[in-house]
Every structure is written in C-alpha cells, then in structure tokens.
C-alpha cells in the first residue's frame, strides 16, 4: 500500500494536503500533536475519498515519540507498505520583536519547525532510499525567504529548512528522491486567525489571503509524476507578495 505522511495533518494546510494526496490515490498517515477531534475530521475526509487513514499522534519535536509511533508503525507494516510522500508541514509561530523574545519561545519554534523536520525526515528518507523513490515536501514560509519583523525565531527556522531542502535534494537525487519546499504567504487557517485580512490585503497583489486548497494544489503537484524533474526548489504560494 502506498502511503503519504503529512505532519500536522489535523488542521489547516496539512488537512488540505491530506485530502489532496488521498484524491491522488495515496493512503494517508495523519500526524498531529493533540487535537483529536480535528484529526478525526481529517480521517473522515480521507476515508470519504476511499483511502485508508492512520492517525499518528506525536510531537514532531520529540525524537523519542517519533521513534515510538512512526518507526514502530513502519517496522510493523514493512512488508506491506511504502511511504512515497512525506509532507513536513507541522509548524508553530510565537511572534515577538527580538527585543522581547524569550529564550523559551526561540527554542520552542526552532524545535517544532526545524528539529521536527529532522526526526520525521531521518526515518522516512532511509526507507525511501531503499525503495529508490520518494517525494519530500517541506512547508516553509515567505518569512524564511524575506525575513519578517517580529518573527526572528519563525523566519530562522523556515530559512534553515530551506537550506536543508536544497542540501538534501543534492544528496538523494541519484536515488530518485526529490526534495522541495512550498512557501505560503498569508493563508486562512487557525495560525493566521489573529491577523486582520482587511488590514493586510492591500499589500498583496491578488488582494486576499490564500486558501489551504491553493497550497495543497502545489504540494500535490510536487508529489506527482509531473514534478519528476523538479528538486531543490522553493515554490511560493503567496498571491504575489514578495517584498
């Protein structure tokens, strides 16, 4: 059975990615941290596409938990499954001007957004190397490309994942594994619920926030055969908002 693993698949962009990949024929491993109800809803949406959904609750920043849940599942199902797609989407922000940014908020954002990339990718890419096929898609951010006042921790974590994306693409290309990133701008999710669209939209050439499905469409493209010669890239989905 062919699987796609989506971290942070319970809500927002991750949920839309789960549905998109299910529509493309993948069974889905839905990772999430704590929101059981939201994860169950994603499961329902994946199953409505006729695909199998497996809920995987673990904190992507906790290496031990990733091993206990993901590595155990992979070992138990190794004869019958193949994880072809990994979407590293789980992420958080804890914004503050650098002047006021506490070490705790710096560490937490780096742990989830950057170490979270490390643990899941480390496990899954080894499996992909053996299968000699894989698509790794990292959800980064416009902040990681251009920087953003009040988001040093977040921008640093996303810029680091962009560097990791480009480097890993160069290491694993010969094994037919592609590694790319998608960089959303302002997308309507719980993460941006505190940002006033009316106030910000005049700065966006397309004059609106994006929809999760618009990000999932690009994730779907990068996971597809159509993207077989695209690797080490960062594709922006931001309505034209650059600088």
Q: Which residues bind ligand NAP (CB under 6 A)?
A: 7-8, 10-14, 31-35, 38, 59-61, 89-92, 112, 139, 141, 184, 186-187, 189-192
Under DSSP, is residue 181 helix (H, G, I), strand (E, B) or coil?
A: strand
Give the separation between CA 82 and CA 102, rounded to whole angstroms. 41
Cβ at position 214, least distance to ligand NAP in Å: 11
Q: Quick one: 26 or 186, whose CB is closer to ligand NAP?
A: 186
Cβ at position 176, least distance to ligand NAP in Å: 26
Q: Quick one: 129 or 218, whose CB is closer to ligand NAP?
A: 218
Cβ at position 175, least distance to ligand NAP in Å: 26
Nearest to 56 by CA among 13, 76, 130: 76
Any idea which residue has 């977040």 for tokens? Answer: 154
Under DSSP, is residue 135 helix (H, G, I), strand (E, B) or coil?
A: strand
Q: Is-contact 212 10, C-beta < 8 A?
A: no
Q: Quick one: 81 or 90, whose CB is closer to ligand NAP?
A: 90
User: CA angle at residue 111 from 109 to 112, to 5 degrees?
Assistant: 70
Q: Quick one: 180 or 192, whose CB is closer to ligand NAP?
A: 192
Question: Which two tokens mark 93?
Answer: 């922000």
Cβ at position 132, least distance to ligand NAP in Å: 28
Instruction: Give the residue numbers annotated as catalytic, written as ranges.
Output: 154
């Amino acid at each position: 059975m062919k699987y796609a693993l989506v971290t942070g698949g319970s809500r927002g962009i991750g949920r839309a990615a789960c549905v998109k990949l299910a529509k493309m024929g993948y069974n889905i491993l839905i990772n999430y941290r704590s929101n059981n109800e939201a994860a169950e809803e994603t499961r329902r949406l994946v199953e409505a596409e006729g695909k199998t959904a497996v809920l995987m609750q673990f904190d992507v920043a906790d290496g031990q938990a990733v091993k206990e849940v993901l590595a155990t599942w992979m070992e138990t199902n190794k004869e019958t499954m193949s994880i072809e797609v990994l979407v590293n989407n789980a992420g958080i922000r804890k914004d503050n001007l650098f002047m006021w940014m506490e070490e705790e908020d710096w560490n937490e954002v780096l742990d989830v957004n950057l170490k979270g990339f490390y643990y899941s990718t480390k496990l899954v890419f080894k499996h992909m190397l053996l299968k000699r096929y894989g698509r790794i898609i990292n959800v980064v951010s416009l902040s990681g490309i251009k920087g953003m006042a009040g988001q040093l921790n977040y921008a640093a974590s996303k810029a680091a994942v962009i560097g990791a994306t480009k480097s890993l693409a160069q290491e694993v290309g010969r094994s037919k594994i592609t590694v790319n990133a998608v960089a959303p701008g302002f997308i309507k999710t719980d993460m941006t619920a505190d940002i006033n669209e009316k106030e910000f939209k005049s700065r966006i050439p397309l004059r609106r926030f994006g929809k999760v499905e618009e990000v999932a469409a690009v994730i779907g493209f990068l996971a597809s055969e159509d993207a077989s010669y695209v690797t080490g890239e960062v594709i922006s989905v931001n309505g034209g908002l650059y600088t």
